[in-house]
Amino acid sequence: MKLTCDEASAICDKSQYNEASLWEKIKLKAHLFLCKKCELYAKQNKIMSTCLKKLEEVESHKTQHLNQEEINCMAQELKTKIEL
């Protein structure tokens, strides 16, 4: 049942994407209880996954083109800068 840190990190990665089996998750929990470095890795991995998901959501909602209001705003800014 003993895991190496490399095996624990691999299971941690799988667990983030719900690909780890129940037995792997149990072994990982036991390892994380004993190994503080892997516990820190698991916490950081979870934070990174959350940040990436949020970034993907933001990127998926971005428009590919400027709307008319943005075009008008840019045109006005350019006009005022040219006049200076």
Per-10-residue mean pLDDT, the chain, length 84: 92 92 96 96 90 82 76 86 70
Report yes or no: 50 and 67 within 8 Å, Cβ to Cβ.
no
How much is the pLDDT for 84? 57
CA–CA distance, 57 with 9 (Å, rounded to integer): 26
How much is the pLDDT for 24? 96
Q: What is the pTM (predicted TM-score) of this model?
A: 0.65
How much is the pLDDT for 81? 78
How much is the pLDDT for 68? 86
- C-alpha to C-alpha distances, 22 to 7, 34, 44, 50, 79, nearest whole angstrom: 15, 19, 22, 22, 63
Phi, then psi, of 70 in degrees rounded to 5: -65, -40
Residues 6 or more apart whose CB falls under 8 angstroms from that of 33 comprise: 39
How much is the pLDDT for 63? 63
